[in-house]
Structure formats: C-alpha cells, structure tokens
Copies of this chain bind each other. A is one copy, B any other.
C-alpha cells in the first residue's frame, strides 16, 4: 500500500492546449500504471484548459466547482461540486474556471495500448 498526502505529489503546470493557471498531479504515473491513471487538477481564478480531444475517455469527479466545460463550439456547460462527468473518447472538451478562486477536480484516464 502506498499513501500519498496531497502535498507530496508534485503540481506540474499544464501548458498544452493553450491552458493557463492550471496544474496536474499524477498520483500514479503512466509508467507505473497498467489500466488507468488518477490525476488531480487545479485551475486558478479565470484559468482554463483549451479545447482538445483524444482517444482516451475521462471519468471525472468535481471536488470544488463550479467549473464550465466547453464543447467544440465553445458552448459552456456548468458542472458543480460533487458531480460526476463522463467524457467519451474523441469528444472535444475544454475547461474554464469562472470563479475568483481555484477549482479542483479528479480525473481518471485509461492507459491505452500502443498497438
């Protein structure tokens, strides 16, 4: 069993997709994982993760919201604290923090085989 307090997991800046004010914590790195990884995101006040897509699904849980999810047209859907979000494979999505405070979410992602 491995226990990791939140502050023992490095917060790495998210710089892809035109993201701003966003960090990711990988509780288990892909190299340590077989089927999936669980990550924690923080998005600072008015920060964002740009719209993007990938073949991996997401299974997310909003720890502290509300957060705006964006679709490929930039249309917003608000998700609240304690809501679960399933993002299907290849569906374009982005994130926006409309608040004056930092929001938080957990995000599970599968490790797809390279073949």
Contact = CB atoms under 8 A, between A and B. Distances in A.
A8 to B, nearest CB: 9
A9 B27 CA distance: 26
A71 B3 CA distance: 14
Protomer copies: 2
A33 to B, nearest CB: 8
A82 interface: yes
How big is the A interface, by class? 35 or more
Contacts of A18: none
Interface of A: 1-6, 9, 27-28, 34-38, 40, 57, 59, 61, 63, 69, 71, 77, 79-80, 82-88, 91, 93, 106, 108, 110-112
